[in-house]
C-alpha cells in the first residue's frame, strides 16, 4: 500500500506498559497516505492506547512511531499540528453553542473567525445540520453531537484523522449517516484515517484492517482477504447440549467456537453435501444448522477467542 | 507568536462563560460588599479604629484582595472542570506544548481577577471607602499586576493536584478559607499567636494583602499599617507566582501525572 511514498503512519514495535500490564506489546503498523485503516480488537486489546501513542498523548514505553512525517517522541507538537483526533468521549463544551465550540477549536489551530465559519458551515452542511450553527450543543441529538465532535476534529483539515469508536452508542441509521459523512470527508480532503470500532460491518469499508489482541498484532490485510482466509463457509449449529455437539463434530470439522447455544465451525470447501450428511448423523443433537459465507465478525470472533486455543481448520 | 492562538482561544471561551454567568459576576461584587458592610460594621464596633482609619476602611484592601483571590481560584479551578467535562481533550490535542495550557489558564484566571478587582475599585470609590489623597497609584498598579497572578498561582497549584470537582469543598475549606483568613485581610497578623503568625508569614497571599494596604491605606498609622516593605511584598508575590506556575506546569506535563490526565479524559481504566 505504502511502497514508494512515506507512510502517513509508521509504528515500529510500539510498547506501552501500565505497571505490570502490557497494554501494547510490540505493535508495528504502516499506513499509507490517504488510506482508510481499521484497528480492530476486543475491549482492552490496546486500540485506544495505540491511538493515543500515535497522537502523542501517551508516551510509548518502547519502540517508535512517525506520523505525517514527524517522530511522535521528538516532535509531538509538529505531529499534533498534522492530526485530528476524535476521542471515544465527547470533547465538546456543552455550555457553549455549536459555533462557539467550533470557534474555540479552530482558534487553537490559528484559524481566523471567517475561515472557521466558512469551514464549519460547509462541514455542518455535509452532515445536513447547517441550520444548527447557532444552536446550543445541549440541544443537539446524540448523533448530531457526535458529528459536531468529528467536525471539531477536522476543522483544521488534518492530514491524518484518528477516530476512536466514532459511532459507539448510536443507533444504526445515525451510524450510517456518520459513515456517509466520514466518506464525504475522505473524498474532500484525501485524509488518512485510522479507525477503531466494535461494529465489524463498519470496518468492511476500510482499505485494510488489523486485528489486535492483548496489544499484539494477530492478523492484518484487506477485509476481503481476511474474510476469505476464514474458508468458504461458516457452519453454525444450535444445540441444547452444545458440548456434546462440539465433541461429535470435531473429528469432521475440526475445533469450533462456542457462542452461547451456538457452535461455529469453519468449512473450507465449496461443496456442502458432506454437511447435509453430517446434519443427518447428528439427528436431534443439532436443533438447527446454518451454512453461510464468513464475514469480518467471524474473523473477530476467532481472533477474540485466540486461534492458538482452537487451532486452524483442516 | 504561535502562542497567541491558544491564548486568544482560551480567553475567548473565558469571556463567553463570564458573560453567560452574570450571577457569578454580580456575586463577586456582592460578596466583598457584604464583608465590608456587615462584617466590617460588626467587628468595627468591637475592634474600633486606629487613628483616622475606621475598621471598615482597614478592610477595603482585604476585600479587594478577596475578590481577586476568589475570582482567580474559581477560574483556575475550571482546569479541573475541563478535565472532567472533556473540553481538556481539545486542548491536549492542539498543536502546542502542554505546559502552555497551564500558562494560558493562569493568564486567563489572572485577567478575570483583574477585571473584577477594577469593577470593585469603582464601587469602593463610589461608596467612599477610598481616600483619594491616600491612594498610591504606582503601588496600586503594581498590586493589580502581581496579586491576580499570585492568586491564579494558588489556584493552579490546587487544580494541578485535584482530580475531580468533588474535591471542590475540600479546596474551599483547606485552601481558600485558610489562605484568606490567615492573611492579614481581617486583622493585622502581628497580633496573632505565634503559630498562626508563622502560617500567615508563609502564606504568599499575605504579601498581596500587604501590598494592597500599601496602595490604599499607607497613611494608616499604628496597628492598621502595612506590616512589610513593598519590596518584600513584590519579591514574594513574583517569586511565588513563578514557582507555583512552574510546579503546575511540571505536574501537568510530567509523564505519570499526564498519563493519568489522559486516562481520566479517555475514560480508560
Residue A225 belongs to a domain = no
Residue A311 pLDDT > 60: no
- In this predicted structure, what is the pLDDT of residue B243? 96
Provide mean pLDDT across the span B194-211. 95
Residues A197, A289, single domain; the answer is no
Task: Please determine, for residue B144, whether its predicted confidence score (pLDDT) is greater than 70.
Answer: yes
pLDDT digits (tens, 9 = 90+) for B4-39: 888 889 989 988 988 888 888 888 889 899 988 888
Q: Which residues contact A18 (CB under 8 A, 6 or more apart)?
A: B269
Query: At which residue does the C-alpha cell 482609619 appear?
Result: B53
Comparing A71-80, A221-230, B164-173, the range with the smallest average pLDDT is: B164-173
Inform me whether the pLDDT recorded for B266 exceeds 60.
Answer: no
- pLDDT score at A309: 36
Segment holding A25, helix H or strand E: strand A21-31
Confirm whether A281 is domain-assigned: yes
pLDDT, residue B257, reads 40
Shortest alpha-carbon distance between residue B73 and chain A (Å):
20
Q: Which of A54-63, A73-82, A281-290, B117-126 comes out lowest in average pLDDT?
A: A281-290
Which tens digits make up the pLDDT trace of A247-260? Answer: 888 888 888 888 88
Q: A2-11, A46-55, A209-218 — which is least confidently predicted?
A: A2-11
Give the least confident one: A154-168, B38-52, B133-147, B234-248.
B38-52
Whether pLDDT at A225 is above 60: yes
pLDDT of residue A4: 52
Choice between A52 and B47, residue whose per-residue pLDDT is larger: A52
Per the CB < 8 Å rule, is B96 touching A95? Answer: no
B10, B19, B90, B255: best mutation site toward chain A, by most A Cβ within 10 Å? B90
- Grid-cell match 450428511, residue found: A277
Å from A111 to nearest chain B CA? 8
CB contact under 8 A, B93 and A18: no
pLDDT at A261 over 60: yes
**Residue of A58, A87, A95 with shortest CB distance to B259:** A58
pLDDT of residue B79: 87
Across the range B120-134, mean pLDDT stands at 88
Tell me: pLDDT of B81 over 80: yes
Question: Are both A150 and A185 inside the same structural domain?
Answer: yes
pLDDT recorded at residue A38: 95
Which of B93, B100, B257 should one mutate to test binding to chain A, selecting the residue with the greatest count of A CBs within 10 A? B93
Give the confidence band of B143 by pLDDT, cuts at 50, 70, 90: very high
Mutation target to probe the A interface, by most A beta carbons within 10 A, among B89, B105, B263 is: B89
Please give the interface size between A and B, counted as residue pairs whose CB atoms are below 8 Å apart. 83
Same domain, A17 and A49: yes
Residue-wise DSSP of A117-172: HHHHHHHHHHHT-GGGTTSBGGGS-HHHHHHHHHHHHHTT--SEEEEESTTTT--H
Statement to judge: residues A21 and A126 lie in one domain: yes
**A243 & A210 share domain:** no
Q: Do A93 and B94 touch (CB under 8 A)?
A: no
CA distance B172 to chain A (A): 24
Q: For position A164, what pLDDT does the model report?
A: 94
How far is B236 from B153, CA to CA, in rounded Å?
12
| Pick from B206, B162, B215, B159: nearest CA to B186 | B206
- The residue out of A172, A198, A220 marking a domain boundary is A220
- The three-state secondary structure class of B118 is helix
Query: Do A49 and B85 lie within an 8 Å CB cutoff?
Result: no
**Whether residues A154 and A182 fall in one domain:** yes
Name the least confident of A58-72, A128-142, A294-308. A294-308
Arithmetic mean of pLDDT, B71-90: 89
pLDDT digits (tens, 9 = 90+) for A165-186: 998 888 888 888 888 888 888 8
Q: So what's the pLDDT on residue A173? A: 86
CATH code of A260's domain: 3.30.70.790
Report the residue from B6, B91, B266 with minimal CB separation from A48: B266
Q: How many domains are there within chain A?
A: 2
pLDDT category, B265, cuts 50, 70, 90? low
Q: Is the pLDDT of residue A288 over 60?
A: yes
* A304 part of a folded domain: no
Averaged over B45-57, what is the pLDDT?
79
Within 8 A of A52 by CB-CB distance, chain B residues are: 262, 266
Bridge-based pairing of strands A192-196 and A160-164 is: parallel
Quick count: other Cβ atoms within 10 Å of Cβ B186? Answer: 20
Same domain, residue pair A134 and A252:
no
Backbone angles phi, psi at A68, to 5 degrees: 50, 35
Q: Read off the pLDDT of residues A3-21 as tens digits, 9 standing for 90 and up.
A: 457 899 999 999 999 888 8
**Chain A contact for B22, CB < 8 A?**
no
> What pLDDT score does A306 carry?
65
Instruction: Determine the average pLDDT of the residues in A78-82.
Output: 95
Model confidence at A313, pLDDT cuts 50, 70, 90, reads very low
Tell me, what's the pLDDT at A242? Answer: 87
B11 → chain A, closest CA residue: A104
Instruction: Provide the percentage of residues in chain A whose pLDDT is more than 90.
Output: 56
Same domain, A240 and A215: no
This prediction's pTM: 0.87
Of A42, A40, A44, residue with least CA distance to A29: A40
Residues A203 and A241 in one domain: no
Query: b/e string for B156-185 if b means 16 or more Cβ within 10 A?
Result: bbbbbebeeeebbeebeeebbeebbebbbb
Chain B residue with the nearest C-alpha to that of A58: B259
Strands (E), A171-312: 192-196, 208-213, 216-221, 233-238, 257-259, 262-267, 288-292
- Cα B143 to chain centroid distance, Å, stands at 12
Q: Is the pLDDT of residue B85 over 90?
A: no
Q: Report the alpha-carbon distance of residue A266 to residue A231 in Å, rounded.
A: 6
Q: Is B268 exposed, middle or buried (0-12, 13-18, 19+ CB in 10 A)?
A: middle
- Give dist(CA B227, CA B69) in Å, integer: 20
Q: Which residues of B touch A109 (CB under 8 A)?
A: 5, 94-95
First and final C-alpha spacing in chain B: 38
Cβ of B268 within 8 Å of Cβ of A95? The answer is: no
Chain A contact present for B264, CB below 8 A: no
Residue boundaries of the structural domains of chain B: 4-266
Query: What average pLDDT score do residues A286-299 get?
Result: 90
Instruction: Output the nine-digit C-alpha cell for A228.
Output: 476469505
Question: Does B169 reach chain A within 8 Å, measured CB to CB?
Answer: no
CA pair distance B103, B81, nearest whole angstrom: 17
Which ranges constitute the DSSP H helices of B48-98?
55-76, 78-85, 88-92
Helix (H, G, I), strand (E, B) or coil at B129: coil
Q: Nearest by CB to B13, which of A88, A104, A110?
A: A104
Quote the pLDDT of residue B153. Answer: 96
Q: Residues A106, A185: one domain?
A: yes
The predicted pLDDT at position B245 comes to 95
How many Å separate Cα A100 from the centre of its chain?
A: 30
- Residue A33 falls inside a structural domain: yes
Specify the higher pLDDT residue, B265 or A165: A165
Q: Is A67 helix (H, G, I), strand (E, B) or coil?
A: strand
Give the ipTM.
Answer: 0.84
Average pLDDT score over chain B: 87
- Residue A1 is predicted with a pLDDT of 46
Tell me: do A170 and A278 sit in the same domain: no
Contact B268 A77 (CB under 8 A): no
Distance from CA of B148 to the nearest CA of A (A): 24
Residue A135, domain extent:
9-220
**Nearest-10 crossing angle of helices B78-85, B55-76:** 20
Q: Please report residues of A whose CB lies closer than 8 A to that of B12.
A: 103-104, 107
10 Å CB burial of residue B209 (0-12, 13-18, 19+) is buried
Using an 8 Å Cβ cutoff, are A160 and A83 in contact? yes
Percent with pLDDT over 70 in chain B: 93
For residue A305, being part of any structural domain is answered with no
Who wins on pLDDT, B159 or B240?
B240
Residue A134: which CATH number? 3.40.50.300
As a whole number, mean pLDDT of residues B179-190 equals 91
Domain assignment of residue A309, yes or no: no
Query: What DSSP state is assigned to residue B35?
Result: I
Q: Is a pLDDT exceeding 70 seen at residue B255?
A: no
User: Do residues A103 and A71 share a domain?
Assistant: yes
Span A300-310, pLDDT tens digits: 888 777 654 33
Amino acid at each position: 500500500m505504502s511502497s514508494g511514498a512515506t507512510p502517513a503512519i509508521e509504528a515500529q514495535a510500539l510498547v506501552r506498559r501500565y505497571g505490570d500490564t502490557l497494554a501494547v506489546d510490540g505493535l508495528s503498523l504502516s499506513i499509507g497516505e490517504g488510506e482508510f485503516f481499521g484497528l480492530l480488537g476486543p475491549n482492552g486489546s490496546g486500540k485506544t492506547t495505540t491511538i493515543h501513542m500515535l497522537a502523542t498523548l501517551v508516551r510509548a514505553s518502547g519502540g517508535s512511531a512517525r506520523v505525517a512525517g514527524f517522530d511522535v517522541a521528538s516532535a509531538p507538537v509538529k505531529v499534533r499540528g498534522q492530526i485530528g483526533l476524535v476521542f471515544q468521549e465527547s470533547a465538546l463544551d456543552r455550555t457553549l453553542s455549536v459555533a462557539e465550540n467550533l470557534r474555540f477549536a479552530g482558534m487553537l489551530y490559528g484559524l481566523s473567525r471567517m475561515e472557521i465559519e466558512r469551514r464549519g458551515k460547509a462541514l455542518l452542511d455535509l452532515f445536513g445540520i447547517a441550520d444548527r450553527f447557532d444552536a446550543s450543543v445541549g440541544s443537539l441529538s446524540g448523533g448530531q453531537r457526535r458529528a459536531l465532535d468529528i467536525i471539531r476534529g477536522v476543522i483544521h483539515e488534518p492530514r491524518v484523522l484518528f477516530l476512536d469508536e466514532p459511532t459507539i452508542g448510536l443507533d444504526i441509521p445515525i451510524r450510517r449517516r456518520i459513515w456517509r459523512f466520514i466518506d464525504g470527508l475522505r473524498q474532500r480532503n484525501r485524509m488518512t484515517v485510522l479507525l477503531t470500532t466494535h461494529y465489524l460491518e463498519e470496518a468492511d469499508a476500510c482499505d485494510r484492517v488489523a486485528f489486535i489482541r492483548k496489544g499484539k498484532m494477530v492478523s492484518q490485510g484487506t477485509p476481503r482477504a481476511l474474510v476469505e482466509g476464514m474458508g468458504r463457509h461458516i457452519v453454525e449449529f444450535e444445540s441444547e447440549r452444545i458440548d456434546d455437539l462440539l465433541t461429535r463434530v470435531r473429528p469432521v470439522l475440526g475445533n469450533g467456537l462456542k457462542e452461547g447455544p451456538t457452535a461455529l465451525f469453519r468449512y473450507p470447501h465449496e461443496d456442502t453435501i458432506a454437511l447435509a450428511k453430517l446434519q443427518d448423523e447428528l439427528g436431534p443433537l443439532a436443533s438447527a444448522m446454518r451454512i453461510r459465507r464468513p464475514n469480518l465478525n467471524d474473523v473477530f470472533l476467532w481472533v477474540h477467542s485466540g486461534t492458538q486455543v482452537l487451532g486452524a481448520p483442516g | 507568536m504561535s502562542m497567541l492562538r491558544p491564548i486568544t482561544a482560551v480567553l475567548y471561551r473565558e469571556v463567553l462563560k463570564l458573560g453567560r454567568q452574570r450571577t457569578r459576576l454580580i456575586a463577586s461584587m456582592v460578596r466583598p460588599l457584604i464583608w465590608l458592610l456587615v462584617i466590617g460594621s460588626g467587628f468595627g464596633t468591637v475592634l474600633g479604629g486606629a487613628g483616622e482609619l475606621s475598621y471598615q476602611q482597614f478592610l477595603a484592601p482585604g476585600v479587594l484582595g478577596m475578590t481577586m483571590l476568589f475570582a482567580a481560584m474559581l477560574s483556575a479551578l475550571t482546569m479541573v472542570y475541563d478535565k472532567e467535562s472533556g473540553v481538556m481533550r481539545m486542548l491536549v490535542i492542539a498543536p502546542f506544548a502542554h505546559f502552555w495550557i497551564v500558562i494560558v489558564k493562569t493568564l486567563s484566571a489572572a485577567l478575570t481577577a483583574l477585571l473584577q478587582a477594577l469593577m470593585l475599585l469603582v464601587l469602593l470609590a463610589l461608596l467612599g471607602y477610598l481616600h483619594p489623597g491616600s491612594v498610591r497609584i504606582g503601588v496600586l498598579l503594581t498590586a493589580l499586576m502581581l496579586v491576580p497572578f499570585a492568586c491564579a498561582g494558588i489556584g493552579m497549584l490546587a487544580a494541578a493536584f485535584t482530580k475531580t470537582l468533588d474535591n471542590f469543598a475540600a479546596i474551599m475549606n483547606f485552601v481558600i478559607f485558610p489562605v484568606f483568613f490567615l492573611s492579614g485581610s481581617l486583622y493585622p497578623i502581628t497580633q496573632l499567636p505565634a503559630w498562626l503568625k508563622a502560617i500567615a508569614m508563609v502564606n504568599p497571599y499575605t504579601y498581596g494583602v500587604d501590598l494592597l494596604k500599601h496602595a490604599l491605606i499607607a497613611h494608616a498609622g499604628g496597628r492598621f499599617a502595612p506590616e512589610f516593605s513593598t519590596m518584600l511584598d513584590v519579591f514574594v508575590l513574583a517569586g511565588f507566582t513563578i514557582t507555583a506556575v512552574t510546579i503546575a506546569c511540571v505536574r501537568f506535563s510530567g509523564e505519570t501525572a499526564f498519563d493519568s490526565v489522559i486516562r481520566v479524559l479517555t475514560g480508560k481504566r
